[in-house]
Amino acid sequence: MISDTFVPQRLDRATPFYIAGHRGLVGSAIWRQLVAKGFDNLIGRSSSEVDLRDRDAVFGFFATEKPRNVVLAAAKVGGIMANNTYPVDFLSENMRIQLNVLDAALEHGVERLLFLGSSCIYPKLAPQPIKEEYLLTGHLEPTNDAYAIAKIAGILHIQAVRRQYGLPWISAMPTNLYGQGDNFSPQGSHVLPALIRRYDEARREGTEAVTNWGTGSPRREFLHVDDMASACLHLLENYDGPDQVNVGTGRDSTIKEVAQIVAEEVGYTGRIEWDTSKPDGTPRKLLDITMLRESGWEPSIGLREGIASTIAWYRDHVNVVRS
């Protein structure tokens, strides 16, 4: 729902704009996007400069820097394994980061704020494609429920600020993201960077067969992080409403198709095998992006093109990527 009174507005390029998490996958893409669009008063701090779990540090930072626009892309993020093993860390750290940043932003009168969540906020058995209105209509996927609850609290926090203070703060829920700056570590990474690393290593080592978990039949949606960054700026300039906005491509592919593209693009010529004794996970996970489309935005980076550029970036940075 887009509010009746909101007027789409180009953000002023000189206004102080804080990107929390500006060194991460999403935050760094948003930073690049804003620089490309002429923003020249961007503010970023690493976690060692301002630990967002530290309330005093966050309030001190806002008092000094006085940002007027904020994107909250700082979070403790991880794959299924990490989420399932350390649920307390994912709940506690994300709740503290959000609470501190949103409270400080309120106290210091931040005008436009975008909170980033994730598609794991939706019920495990939500009908596909997943519409925004399915939030809080069923049980969560247990392996990342602690993380999801923290993100749901963030969405509700944004809605509460709108209700109580009338500020035009918004939330966006991206699908699986990938691209330059991703986490390629075997323990912490998501499916696409994990496939890129595995197949590129197999190519280098001349491995005859690579075995993947499951049947390869689950369908997943992947959005290039530069498209995500473009959607974030678009939403900040064109959308206002209490509902979180899904951000995706509206298209999904089987894991088998994705593995095939990765193998072709890295130049791996060995066999691709599937260990069907391993679990597949949810058969399908696709966001309904009607709301985003209706606000006037479309993705522009195709999956093969995005995977190819991510592989090129990975190879250029193989010694410095998170691993």
Binding residues for NADP(+), by number, are: 21-27, 116-119, 151, 174-177, 190
Is 170 in a helix, a strand, or coil?
A: strand
Q: Per CB under 6 A, which region of 4-12, 51-59, 211-219, 294-302 contacts ligand NAP?
A: 51-59
Minimum distance of ligand NAP from residue 7's CB (angstroms): 28
Instruction: Give the one residue of 17, 18, 19, 25 binding ligand NAP; rule: CB under 6 A.
Output: 25
- Give yes or no for residue 176 binding ligand NAP (CB under 6 A): yes
Q: Is 174:118 a contact under the CB 8 Å cutoff?
A: yes
Q: Per CB under 6 A, which region of 8-16, 67-75, 204-212, 311-319 contacts ligand NAP?
A: 67-75
Q: By Cβ distance, which residue is nearest to ligand NAP?
A: 24
Query: Between residues 181 and 202, which has the closer beta carbon with respect to ligand NAP?
Result: 181
Minimum distance of ligand NAP from residue 157's CB (angstroms): 13
What Cα–Cα distance (Å) separates residue 300 from each residue in 156, 162, 244? 31, 31, 22
Site size for ligand NAP (CB under 6 A) = 25
Dihedral of CA 255/260/266/272: which sign?
A: positive
147 is catalytic: yes
Q: Is 2:239 a contact under the CB 8 Å cutoff?
A: yes
Residue 305 CB coordination number (10 Å): 12
- Give the separation between CA 112 and CA 67, rounded to whole angstroms: 10
- The DSSP output letter for 240 is -
Minimum distance of ligand NAP from residue 21's CB (angstroms): 3
- Give yes or no for residue 233 binding ligand NAP (CB under 6 A): no
Instruction: Give the one residue of 15, 51, 80, 213 binding ligand NAP; rule: CB under 6 A.
Output: 51
Q: Which of 116, 148, 121 has the alpha carbon at shortest distance from 22?
A: 116
Is 318 exposed, middle or buried (CB count within 10 Å of its CB: 0-12, 13-18, 19+)?
middle
- Give yes or no for residue 44 binding ligand NAP (CB under 6 A): no
- Give yes or no for residue 53 binding ligand NAP (CB under 6 A): yes
DSSP alpha helix (H) spans, the chain: 25-36, 55-65, 80-85, 87-107, 145-165, 191-205, 225-238, 255-266, 290-294, 303-316
Q: Which of 266, 261, 278, 269 has the alpha carbon at shortest distance from 318?
A: 266
- Give yes or no for residue 190 binding ligand NAP (CB under 6 A): yes
Contacts of 32 (CB under 8 A, 6+ apart): 226, 229
Query: Between residues 161 and 225, which has the closer beta carbon with respect to ligand NAP?
Result: 225
- Using CB under 6 A as the binding rule, the residues of this chain from 81 to 140 that contact ligand NAP are 97, 116-118
- Give yes or no for residue 220 binding ligand NAP (CB under 6 A): no
Minimum distance of ligand NAP from residue 27's CB (angstroms): 5
Query: Between residues 24 and 216, which has the closer beta carbon with respect to ligand NAP?
Result: 24
Q: How far apart are the first and last CA of the chain?
A: 41
Catalytic residue among 18, 122, 147, 199, which? 147
Number of H helices, E strands in the chain: 10, 13
**What are the binding residues for substrate?**
198, 213, 220, 280
- Give the separation between CA 216 and CA 55, rounded to whole angstroms: 44
Query: Between residues 135 and 202, which has the closer beta carbon with respect to ligand NAP?
Result: 135
Instruction: Give the one residue of 77, 99, 104, 232 binding ligand NAP; rule: CB under 6 A.
Output: 77
Query: Between residues 117 and 129, which has the closer beta carbon with respect to ligand NAP?
Result: 117
The contact set with ligand NAP (CB under 6 A) reads: 21, 23-27, 46-47, 51-53, 73-77, 97, 116-118, 174, 176-177, 183, 190
- Catalytic residue IDs: 147
